[in-house]
Amino acid sequence: MVILLAMLYQHFSYLEYIRGALKGIAAVGVGLIAGTGFKMLKDEFCYPPMLLVVGLTLLAGIYFDLALGWVVLIVAPVAFIFARRKARRL
Amino acid sequence: MTLLISLFIKLSLLSFVAFGGIIAVLPSLFDLAVNQEHWIDAATFADYFAIAQAAPGPNFMTITLVGWQVYGVVGAIVASIAVCWPSCVMVFYLERYITSIKDPEKKQIIQYAAAALAIGLVLTSSWKLSVGFNNHWSEIVLTITVLVITQLSKIHPLYLIALGALLGGMGLLS
């Protein structure tokens, strides 16, 4: 079905309202992804130090613009240290 | 044929670090497909992302469409397999490993660490996609509005997608 939609897109992508509609869907799609992230984030407030792990991931991924593999390699050890503390605390 | 093999290997490697799901991989896929390999231009990638969001099915449909762009239907199939098999193999062995752990605290540590990492990666991905796709302030406003709505209500995403299509189709986002 998705390929069918893509074929339709190739035929009608010159139409202004199709391009506009896709822009709108993309903007909503990004909002939905961010929404998923924020919903998951709520669970981390039960042990706030875990938010540092999330923050470190954001710092590595956005500010330093590191590749995904490097972000995982750098943040994972820190995540395990804090996760160990969280498991003992809760 | 070389292109097809390249597609398979590069997407498979990407899938190995897909902590946080395919969503977390999308900015890396964007970088790979648009900036490094020039398989697709940025605007078409954004449109394929939108089509994948609007169509029913799993989240990796954007990758299927990139494969389709590169090598037709065969490319779509190869891209879909390439992005699935590493995660499937890893999840299989990780699940076996986690099940074999007898200490419940160790299991929890893995769960907590993976969750925090996944959240960070999903949020990073959404930020990068927003920067990449939203070229006009009205699109940024729509993204933020959707983010707020998803936090405050349980409205079905399909309605929000329809709203986005409607607003965009009416030319209100440019």
The ipTM value here is 0.91
- Report whether pLDDT(B59) > 90: no
* Interface membership of A26 toward B (CB under 8 Å): yes
- Please report, for chain B, the start and end positions of each structural domain, with discontinuous segments joined by +: 2-103
CB contact under 8 A, A41 and B142: no
**Average confidence (pLDDT) over A74-86:** 93
- Residue A47 Rama label (left phi>0; alpha psi -120 to 50; beta): beta
Q: Which residues of A touch B21 (CB under 8 A)?
A: none
- Residue B20 Rama label (left phi>0; alpha psi -120 to 50; beta): left
Between B14-18, B76-80, B83-87, B126-130, the lowest mean confidence (pLDDT) is in B14-18
Minimal Cα distance from B170: which residue of A? Answer: A17
The predicted pLDDT at position B17 comes to: 79
The predicted pLDDT at position B113 comes to: 93
- Report whether pLDDT(A83) > 90: yes
* Tokens linked to B77: 């199939």
* Interface membership of A46 toward B (CB under 8 Å): no
How far apart are the CA of A7 and the nearest CA of chain B, in angstroms? 10
**Average confidence (pLDDT) over A11-21:** 87
CB contact under 8 A, A22 and B129: no
The predicted pLDDT at position A78 comes to: 94
3-class SS of residue B122: helix
- Please report, for chain A, the start and end positions of each structural domain, with discontinuous segments joined by +: 1-43, 47-90
- Report whether pLDDT(B174) > 80: no
- Report whether pLDDT(B20) > 80: no
